Chains A and B, each alone.
Chain A
Amino acid sequence: MANKNGNIYGLTILSPIKQDAAAPVSPSLELRKYLHELCAHERSPFARIRDVHMARLVVMDDVVFEGSPSHEEHLRYKYLVFEANFDGDLEPFLRKMLDAAREEVGQIWRHCEGFPGTADPDKFIEYMKKCQLETTFYFVDVNDKTVPQTLKALQTQSAVAAFIQKHQGATGGGLREAFRQFSKELAAAKTPHPASVRGREFTGQLV
């Protein structure tokens, strides 16, 4: 199945956006304004789900016309494109997404045709599956590591660099003791929060 590559699922959803000629602001513009205000870092709804490597939301206005002699054609609807790369399988992910980001999911998809709301997870999943497209080819560079594993590895990388720098010239028992203490602190350190952009967050108080 091309939607999966290793442990990573590649979700592609196209939800038709409502049309309302009488509205002072079109649903697609309302949606764009909401997405513009939505936090993309530590307080992102996707950071709360914790399984998401990368995700995007895009309003696709129309198909493209390449110029004559191609045929010019247009879509009846604008579409909300939801592209996500996450650990695991679709249904558990959609349930988790609804649990972790019910408010944001409601605010985003209320602009889409046929959205059943967020009260009933089964109806929500059924709706998302109706809007899902099968991926034809899915490339993943690292396909066997989860988000927490990657964040932990980035933390280890940064901490190890600092440890090596600090203990240049150390030898024998002293080096071993320092490493044991470092290893203990690293194991006890909290996995970094997804989407942090503070910088140096992976080393924290270690070393």
Chain B
Amino acid sequence: MPNLNGKQYAMNAISPMKPWKSWIVRGFFLFLGYFPGAGRDLNNLSFIHFARWVIVGRKQFPRLDPNRAEHKDNLRYDYLLFFSNFNGTWNQYIDAFSAVLSAGLDFIWRRSEKYPGAVPVTPFKTYIQRGQFETDYYYSAYPHAATNDVKAAHRVQAAFDSLDAKRDLPPAEFEQAYRQFVLQVQTDLGATGEAPVGT
């Protein structure tokens, strides 16, 4: 299933917006860009490696020769494209989004045509499914590592580098530093590997 690669799921979705409403969404994203703390919930969820929203204006779909009449789309709507690289299953992802980020999601997608709201979750899932399109090819440089694995690994690396700088200490002092190191990294040592099967 090309939407999946190891622990990663690639999601693509599109939704139409009236052009004047797309400027509200642009303003909201501009605000998020200036005040990163406002997007803290997204960090705290800690199962999204990368995600992006791209607003495509109704005259902005790339055309290689804009002078050719047959290249023109004559669209009335702007479109909001959403791409996400997350861990876990589609259902878990949408459930978590609905439960934790409903206010933020509503602010973004409420401007899209016929958006039902992130809560309750059943019409929300139906809406997402209608706008989702399948991935044909999906690559990940570390398919067996979830976002928490990646963050934990970087913490272990930093602690290891710090201990390595102490390897010439007298044996008793090194032993003490080593014990501290083990205490520091013990919660970050989970193994990477195949994801459990889910729906």
Contacts and interface: CB of A to CB of B under 8 A. Distances in A.
A150 B135 CA distance: 25
A interface secondary structure, majority: mixed
B151 A157 contact: no
Most buried by B among A16, A156, A176: A176
A59 interface: yes
Q: Kindly name the residue among B6, B14, B140 whose own CB sees the greatest number of chain A CB atoms within 10 A.
A: B140
Nearest to B47: A141
A153 B74 CA distance: 50
Interface of B: 2, 5-6, 8, 10, 12, 14-16, 25-26, 29, 32-33, 39, 42-43, 46, 48-56, 60-65, 70-77, 79, 81, 83, 85, 112-114, 130-131, 133-145, 147, 149-154, 156-157, 160, 163-164, 167, 169, 171-172, 174-175, 178, 182, 185, 188-189, 191-194
A180 interface: yes
Contacts of A40: 2, 5, 137-139
Contact of B62 (A133, A139, A183): A133
Contact of B71 (A35, A70, A76): A76
Given A55-B139, A64-B14, A114-B65, A136 B53 contact: yes
Nearest to A38: B137
B141 A176 contact: no
Nearest to B15: A64
A64 B16 contact: yes
Contacts of B193: 199-200
Interface in A136-156: 136-142, 145, 147, 149-154, 156
Given A54-B140, A160-B156, 14 more contacts: A36-B136, A53-B49, A60-B133, A61-B133, A64-B16, A76-B70, A139-B39, A141-B151, A149-B157, A151-B141, A154-B153, A157-B189, A179-B167, A195-B140
Contacts of B174: 175-176, 179
A56 B137 contact: yes
Interface residues of A, number: 84
A172 B64 CA distance: 69
A156 B171 CA distance: 23
A81 B50 contact: no
A157 B159 CA distance: 10
B77 A71 contact: yes
A183 B54 contact: no
Contact of A47 (B14, B33, B141, B157): B141
A175 B153 contact: no
B139 A54 contact: yes
A47 to B, nearest CB: 7
Contacts of A205: none
B12 A58 contact: yes
Q: List 9 tightest A-B contacts by C-beta distance, closest first.
A: A114-B64, A137-B29, A153-B153, A194-B141, A153-B157, A157-B153, A172-B171, A35-B137, A161-B189
A172 B62 contact: no
Contact of B151 (A70, A140, A142, A161): A142
A113 interface: yes
Scoring A77, A141, A195, A197 by chain B CB atoms within 10 A of each residue's CB, the highest score goes to A141
Contacts of A83: 12, 52, 83
25 contacts: A41-B143, A46-B141, A47-B139, A52-B139, A54-B139, A56-B137, A58-B136, A63-B77, A73-B76, A77-B71, A114-B65, A133-B81, A136-B54, A137-B33, A145-B150, A145-B154, A153-B154, A154-B153, A156-B157, A157-B149, A160-B185, A161-B191, A172-B172, A179-B178, A180-B167
